[in-house]
Structure 1
Amino acid sequence: MRFEDDNTSYNLPDIFLVGAAKSGTTTLAYYIQQHPDVAMPRKEPGFMAYYDKPDDQVPSRIRDRQVRSYDAYKRLYQDIPPDKIICDASVANLSKYEDSIHNLKEFYGDRARDLKIVAILRQPVDRSFSHYMMLVKNGYEELDFEEAIKEENVSKRISIANGYNYLGNSLYYERVKAYMEAFPQMKIYLTDDLKDSKSLAKDLFEYVGLEYPEGINLKMKLNPSGMPKRRGLIKALNGYSETKERLKRALPESWQSKLVEFKSAVTEKNVVKVKVDPELKHRLTHEYFKEDIQKLQSLIGRDLDTWLKTERVVSP
Structure 2
Amino acid sequence: MSFRKQVHFFDKLYHKGINYYKSNFPLKAFDKGTLSGEATPYYIFHPAVPKRIHGVLPDAKLILLVRNPIDRAFSHYNMKVQQGWEDIPTFEEAMGKEPERLQAEYDKMEQNPRYYSKKLRNFSYLARGRYSEQLERWLEYYPIEQIRVYQSERFFEQPQEVLREIYEFIGVSDFVPDNLKVHNKRHYEAMSPETREKLRQY
Runs of at least 5 residues in structure 2 that lack an aligned partner in the other structure: 106-116
User: Take 1:145 and 1:164, find their aligned partners in 2: how far apart are those partners?
Assistant: 11
Q: Residue 215 and residue 168 in structure 1: after superposition, are their counterparts in 2 closer, same or farther (change >3 A)?
A: closer
User: Take 2:171 and 2:37, find their aligned partners in 1: how far apart are those partners?
Assistant: 13
3-state DSSP of counterpart to 2:172: coil
User: Take 2:99 and 2:140, find their aligned partners in 1: how far apart are those partners?
Assistant: 33
Match of 2:23 among 57, 75, 94: 75
Matched, 1:213 2:128: no
**Alignment check: 8 A CA contact 1:46 1:90 kept:** yes
Partner of 1:188: 149
Partner of 1:12: none
User: Take 2:118 and 2:43, find their aligned partners in 1: how far apart are those partners?
Assistant: 18
**Alignment check: 8 A CA contact 1:116 1:208 kept:** yes
Matched, 1:89 2:34: no
3-state DSSP of counterpart to 1:50: coil
Matched, 1:149 2:95: yes
Matched, 1:277 2:197: no
User: Take 2:98 and 2:148, find their aligned partners in 1: how far apart are those partners?
Assistant: 35
- Listed as ranges, the matches of 1:56-135 within 5 Å are 68-77=16-25, 79-81=27-29, 82=31, 84-96=34-46, 98-108=47-57, 112=58, 114-135=59-80
User: Take 1:201 and 1:278, find their aligned partners in 2: how far apart are those partners?
Assistant: 34
User: Take 1:48 and 1:71, find their aligned partners in 2: how far apart are those partners?
Assistant: 13
For normalisation by structure 2, the TM-score amounts to: 0.78
User: Take 2:101 and 2:54, find their aligned partners in 1: how far apart are those partners?
Assistant: 30
Q: Deviation of residue 214 (structure 1)? A: 4.0
User: Take 1:134 and 1:171, find their aligned partners in 2: how far apart are those partners?
Assistant: 19
Q: Deviation of residue 222 (structure 1)? A: 2.1
User: Take 1:104 and 1:130, find their aligned partners in 2: how far apart are those partners?
Assistant: 28
**Alignment check: 8 A CA contact 2:98 2:125 kept:** no
Runs of at least 5 residues in structure 1 that lack an aligned partner in the other structure: 1-38, 54-67, 227-272, 289-316
**Alignment check: 8 A CA contact 2:85 2:122 kept:** no
Q: Deviation of residue 78 (structure 1)? A: 5.2
Same amino acid, percent of matched pairs: 23
1:179-228: CA deviations, max 9, x gaps?
A: 2342222001112212112111111121111222244322x1222233xx
3-state DSSP of counterpart to 2:149: strand
**Alignment check: 8 A CA contact 1:154 1:165 kept:** no
1:123-159: CA deviations, max 9, x gaps?
A: 2111100111222333433422112222269618964
Q: Which has the higher contact order (CA 8 A, sep 6+)?
A: 2
For normalisation by structure 1, the TM-score amounts to: 0.52
Match of 1:204 among 162, 166, 173: 166
One-letter code aligned to 2:122: G
- The structure with the larger Rg is 1
Q: Residue 119 and residue 101 in structure 1: after superposition, are their counterparts in 2 closer, same or farther (change >3 A)?
A: same
Instruction: Give the number of equivalent residue pairs.
Output: 183
**Alignment check: 8 A CA contact 2:160 2:176 kept:** no
**Alignment check: 8 A CA contact 2:66 2:150 kept:** yes
Give the strand-richer structure, 1 or 2. Answer: 1
**Alignment check: 8 A CA contact 1:48 1:104 kept:** yes
Match of 1:165 among 124, 147, 150: 124
Q: Residue 135 and residue 175 in structure 1: after superposition, are their counterparts in 2 closer, same or farther (change >3 A)?
A: same
Runs of at least 4 residues off by over 6 Å = none
